[in-house]
A and B are shown apart, each in its own frame.
Chain A
Amino acid sequence: MDVTRRRFLKIAGLGIASLPLTRLGLNLGGAEAYAAGFKLEGTKEVISICPFCSVGCHIIVHVRNGRMVSTEGDPDYPVSEGALCSKGAAMLSMHKEDHRLTKPLYRAPYSDHWEEKSWEWMLDRIGRRIKDTRDRGFIRRNDKGQEVNRVDSIFQLGTSQMDNEECALSHQFLRGLGVVHIDHQARI
């Protein structure tokens, strides 16, 4: 069998990953054994950023064979100094959990259930609704007859995680429609 070094490491990593840690404890006995079979053994550290709030805490992701093994706060990040709140601390589950939504779900007006839809269908639908709402609510002139070209019936709730360029793009899009109510979630 042709086993390259890289493949060997992969096999070894798999072996460690598939061996229940507590089993090691039973075989060796005692407190020393309990600490054996460390779950971060052979993992690579990758820095990521928590996607939730505007603090943007750095997170160390421990990766083995391209899979996330564990996550924890990055002590080198000066704002959080390694700490994470409950949302950031749940990064591993957020990635791995099968409760996580992987496809767009649609609930029709007055319907009591969700149905799976394709992104294409969903984006077309959202686009259609935005356009219709905008056209319906577009205010050309105010009471004084001044030209305002404004839409009062749409509110955009953005995200504090957007960078300058994304903000500019989003802003231009919304202003283009005439939307004036623009905010993001960090102020709530």
Chain B
Amino acid sequence: MPMTFLIDTSRCTACRGCQVACKEWNDLQANKTRQRGTHQNPPDLNPFNYKLVRFAEYKENGKVVWYFFPDQCRHCVSPPCKEAADSYVEGAIIKDPKTGAVIFTERTRLLKPEQVEEVISYCPYNIPRLDTGTGILAKCTMCNDRVKRNMLPMCVKTCPTGTMNFGERSKMVALAKKRLAELKKDYPNAQLQDPDDVNTIFLLTEDPKKYFQKVG
């Protein structure tokens, strides 16, 4: 039974505990940052940020409305990135048959630059990032080392609000449906993002497009 994240954005307060905990567990180096007029920081996913809370801010009916989106790899049921990589370097991208985690290994270093471009372009969610220093492709690992030892992924473990949930796919799908039904009462546009195709299911209260804003 593959494992699945349910990310219930209606509960997210954008504390960014998940983002920091992810960096800590994976020993990812700091980014040099600057004030860009938004709390979304760093501005995008990068080889040292597998997890990023995206902020989108609107003024609706004279009130400020914020949408928070703790972005990460979706660990697709049939990952297109793996399809692309398999034709060039075997074992560059692997899928753990037990947990369903899609993992970029050190062998991604053997991909040629144009092949790296292709792998990145195959991702429908724009997740993989190239570490130009090591030549390795980087993204969320589902904390596969923890999951295999019956521990929660670090982002889920640290989440104080119940936004980040993790468990067997059937349980998470059931929870997703339950939460969606509850949210529909207050948010008629509430929806699950591609629940059949991915193992990181986002529960959104509004149109997915609202959650992404270009950060200057």
Mark A residues whose CB is within 8 Å of B: 22-23, 25-26, 29-31, 34-39, 70-73, 80, 82-86, 88-93, 97, 99
Mark B residues whose CB is within 8 Å of A: 15-21, 23-25, 30, 91, 94-99, 101, 103, 105-107, 141, 144-145, 147-149, 154, 157-161
CB distance from A48 to the nearest CB of B (A): 15
| Interface class of chain B by DSSP | mixed
Total number of A-B contacts with CB less than 8 angstroms? Answer: 85
Q: Which chain A residue lies CB-closest to B95?
A: A31
Q: Which chain B residue lies CB-closest to A92?
A: B24
Whether A72 contacts B106 in the complex (CB less than 8 A), given A31-B98, A38-B149, A90-B24, comes out as no
With beta carbons under 8 angstroms apart, the residue of A22, A71, A80 that contacts B24 is A71
Instruction: Apart from A29-B91, A37-B145, A86-B16, list 11 A-B contacts with CB within 8 A.
Output: A25-B106, A26-B107, A30-B94, A36-B145, A72-B21, A83-B158, A83-B159, A86-B19, A88-B17, A92-B24, A99-B30
> Can you show 11 pairs from A to B with CB atoms below 8 A apart?
A31-B144, A35-B145, A36-B145, A70-B24, A72-B158, A73-B158, A83-B157, A83-B161, A84-B160, A85-B160, A89-B24
- What CA separation (Å) do A72 and B23 show in the bound complex? 12
Whether A84 contacts B149 in the complex (CB less than 8 A), given A30-B94, A31-B94, A31-B144, comes out as no
Q: By CB atoms of chain B within 10 A, which of A25, A83, A88, A93 has the most?
A: A83
Q: Which chain A residue lies CB-closest to B148?
A: A35
Whether A86 contacts B24 in the complex (CB less than 8 A), given A38-B149, A72-B154, A72-B158, comes out as no
Does A31 lie within 8 Å of B154, measured CB to CB?
Answer: no
- What CA separation (Å) do A25 and B108 show in the bound complex? 12
Which residues from chain A contact B23 at a C-beta distance below 8 Å? 93
With beta carbons under 8 angstroms apart, the residue of A30, A84, A90 that contacts B91 is A30
- What CA separation (Å) do A110 and B108 show in the bound complex? 54
With beta carbons under 8 angstroms apart, the residue of A31, A71, A86, A90 that contacts B96 is A31
